[in-house]
Amino acid sequence: MNSFGNNLRITTFGESHGSAIGGIIDGFPSGFKIDFDLLKEEIAKRRPGSGELVTQRKETDEPEFLSGISSEGVTLGTPIGFIIRNNDNRGNDYNDLRDKYRPNHADFTYQYKYGIRDWKGGGRASARETANWVVAGALALQWLASQNINIQACLTAVGSVSITDKIIENLIHVPSPLFALQTPEKASKHFEDEILKAKQKGDSLGGVVTCLITGVRPGVGEPVFHKLHARLAAAMMSINAAKAFSYGIGDKATLFSGLESLDIFDASISDKDNVQTRTNFSGGIQGGISNGMPIFFNVTFKPTPTVLQEVETIDRELNFTLLKMKGRHDPCVAVRAVPVVKAMAALTVADMIL
C-alpha cells in the first residue's frame, strides 16, 4: 500500500513520466499557517536540474494544493491533496527499456509482480516519487519547528571518502545545543570531486546521509513493535537506494563494551522534563522510546545502478542482450537524498507525536 504513517498519514501516487505525481496528507493539525516560501526552499533542495552533481531533468516541482488549506493558507484539518505536474517528460529516452531489464533496478521485479510495468524512467520505482515526500515532509518540518523540534541532515560520505564516524563520535559526546549538522566545506569539496570523477567515467557512487533530530521530548515511541527507531528505520529504508540504517552508536556498537557505552545520567543538569545524559551512545532512544536527548542516525545509499556504459543484461524473453542506459540521472543519489531523509524523519516523528 502506498501510505505511510498512522496519525499523520501520507498516501502518494505517480509515475516518473506520467502526467503528474501527487499525494494526500491526512491528519495534519488544523489551524496551522503554512509558510509557502519555506516550503519552496525545501523543495528546491531536492529538485533535479539544479547543478552539475545531479540529474539534468528540468522540473519546477511546484505543488498545486487542491484542498485542506483555506484561502488564507491555514490548514483546515481535512486532508491536503496536492499534485505536481511532470513537465520535462522524455519518455522516448527510455524506449530501449521497454523490453530490457536494467541490472539492479526494479524493472524485472515490477514486471514479475504486476505482469505489466511503466518502463519510462522507472515508472513508479523512480526517485521522482520522493518529490511527493518532500512536499509532505516540508509541511511536517514546519509544524515540528512550531513545537521546537528541529531536523537537520547532511552528506557525510561519498564513495570511500567518509567523515561519518567522526560526526557520530561528535554527536555521541553531546555537542552544544547550538550544534549545526552540516558537511564541512573541505569535505564538501572532496565529495564533489569524487562525484565528478565518477560522472566523467559514466559511473556512480554511494554515500551516507546523517540526520539529527533535536527537541523531541521524552516518551515518544512504542515499547515493543513500533519502537521509535524501528519506525525511523522503516522510513529510511523506504528511500530509493537505501541499504543500511544505524542509530546512535549503531553499527559501531560492537567496538565498545557495556561499561564503556553507558550513558550516565547527569543529575547536575537534569530537571523534570529534561533529563540529560553525559554521553549519547543511545542516540536519544532507550527501549524504543525517546529520552529527550538528541536523536541521530545514518542511512547508507548504494551507487545508483544507472551507469552510462554498455552493460550485459537480459530481455523479457530472458535472452542475453546488451544495454546502453541513457536518460538523465544522478551520479550520487545520496546528494539529493539529504532533503528526503529530513522529510521522512519529519513525517515519522510528527506521526508519532500526533
Binding-residue pattern over the window 267 to 306 for a second copy, x denoting contact by CB under 8 A: xx-xxx--x-x---xx---xxxxxx--------xxxxxxx
Which residues face 141 on adjacent strands?
Answer: none
Query: What is the spatial distance between Cα 172 and Cα 283, in angstroms, rounded to a whole number?
Result: 7
What is the DSSP code (8-state) at residue 92? G
Q: Which is nearer to a second copy, 87 or 180 (CB)?
A: 87
Q: Any contact of residue 191 with a second copy (CB under 8 A)?
A: no
Residue of the chain from 66, 90, 95, 166 that contacts a second copy (CB under 8 A): 66
If binding means CB under 8 A, how many residues of this protein chain bind a second copy?
138
Query: What is the spatial distance between Cα 130 and Cα 143, in angstroms, rounded to a whole number?
Result: 20
Site for a second copy in 112-171 (CB under 8 A): 112-118, 123-125, 129, 157-160, 162
Q: Any contact of residue 63 with a second copy (CB under 8 A)?
A: no
Instruction: Look at residues 353, 352, 334, 344 and name the one whose alpha carbon lies nearest to residue 136.
Output: 344
Q: Which is nearer to a second copy, 47 or 124 (CB)?
A: 124
Q: How many residues in the chain?
A: 354
Q: Which is nearer to a second copy, 95 or 109 (CB)?
A: 109
Q: Any contact of residue 180 with a second copy (CB under 8 A)?
A: no
Which residues face 63 on adjacent strands?
Answer: none
Phi-psi region of 326 (alpha: psi -120 to 50; beta: other; left: phi over 0): beta
Site for a second copy in 25-54 (CB under 8 A): 26-27, 30-31
Q: Which is nearer to a second copy, 43 or 220 (CB)?
A: 220
Site for a second copy in 215-244 (CB under 8 A): 218-219, 221-227, 229-231, 233-238, 243-244
Cell readout for 233 is 528505520
Q: Any contact of residue 73 with a second copy (CB under 8 A)?
A: no
The kind and range of the H/E element at 213 are strand 207-214
Number of Cα atoms under 13 Å in the Cβ half of residue 242 = 24
Q: Any contact of residue 210 with a second copy (CB under 8 A)?
A: no
Minimum distance between the CB of residue 348 and a second copy, rounded to whole angstroms? Answer: 11
Site for a second copy in 78-97 (CB under 8 A): 78-81, 83
Minimum distance between the CB of residue 325 and a second copy, rounded to whole angstroms? Answer: 10
Q: Which is nearer to a second copy, 38 or 76 (CB)?
A: 76
Q: Which is nearer to a second copy, 59 or 263 (CB)?
A: 263
Residue 230 near residue 288, CB atoms below 8 Å? yes
Q: Say how far residue 212 (Cα) sits from the centre of its chain.
A: 13
Please return the burial class of 89, using the count of CB atoms within 10 Å of its CB with bins 0-12, 13-18 and 19+: middle
DSSP 3-state assignment of 74?
strand
Query: What is the spatial distance between Cα 107 and Cα 172, in angstroms, rounded to a whole number?
Result: 41
Site for a second copy in 324-353 (CB under 8 A): none
Residue of the chain from 137, 250, 327, 339 that contacts a second copy (CB under 8 A): 250
Considering only the stretches 55-63, 140-148, 178-186, 214-222, report the one whose residues sit in contact with a second copy under the rule CB under 8 A.
Answer: 214-222
Query: What is the spatial distance between Cα 166 and Cα 47, in angstroms, rounded to a whole number?
Result: 29
Residue of the chain from 45, 262, 328, 354 that contacts a second copy (CB under 8 A): 262
Q: Is the dihedral of CA 189, 191, 195, 198 positive or negative?
A: positive
Considering only the stretches 51-59, 60-68, 145-153, 175-183, report the one whose residues sit in contact with a second copy under the rule CB under 8 A.
Answer: 60-68
